[in-house]
Chains A and B, each alone.
Chain A
Amino acid sequence: DTGVSQDPRHKITKRGQNVTFRCDPISEHNRLYWYRQTLGQGPEFLTYFQNEAQLEKSRLLSDRFSAERPKGSFSTLEIQRTEQGDSAMYLCASSFSATNTEAFFGQGTRLTVV
């Protein structure tokens, strides 16, 4: 296991289409986080999971966004009816559950909505 893996690395989609991203965390990590990052900004928190339970969702996560982690391992983030404002880098991170443990990021999925 070499780290957090995200797929795809890049996605171009037409406005109104649905997209789904996948994140594979570091094995043994039971926390998984999703972030969105636009140019010149820091990562904005979207949601996080403790095993398969989604424990917190940001108000940034509109009804068009849904995240799952069905077996407590990989996670998916789906955006329905994409809008141009959804264009961003979507980042995933994982850590052990204790708050004072390191969190490691994947390389992100760059979404462009045209």
Chain B
Amino acid sequence: GESVGLHLPTLSVQEGDNSIINCAYSNSASDYFIWYKQESGKGPQFIIDIRSNMDKRQGQRVTVLLNKTVKHLSLQIAATQPGDSAVYFCAEKNNDMRFGAGTRLTVKP
């Protein structure tokens, strides 16, 4: 696979543990947010979204939390598996869609 720049924030967790990935967004008027997972050499894959009228949304093994006061999103992955290893991005979607810097998650067996 391709190498990734060393400046990308990283998170390393043990298989079976829970992971929390954080993201700060910039536009206080944004009212819709998406988390994406990107594996090496592939396009970003939609994981879960949240609207600004919610502060929490749950999917299968994933939960997104939104704190509009401090413009912060988090993605929680329960019982992290090796297949969760990837780079995770948050995006603010208005008329356009803008991405955060991303976090590389590594799951240790």
Contact = CB atoms under 8 A, between A and B. Distances in A.
Interface of A: 4, 6, 33, 35, 39-45, 48, 55-56, 91, 93, 95, 99-108, 110
Nearest to A47: B96
Contacts of A6: 43
Given A104-B46, A107-B43, A41 B31 contact: no
Contacts of B2: 39
Interface of B: 2-8, 31-32, 34, 36, 41-46, 49, 51, 89, 91, 93-102
Contacts, number: 72
B100 A105 contact: no
A104 B7 CA distance: 26
B7 A42 contact: no
B99 A40 contact: no
A101 to B, nearest CB: 8
Nearest to B50: A100
B95 A56 contact: yes
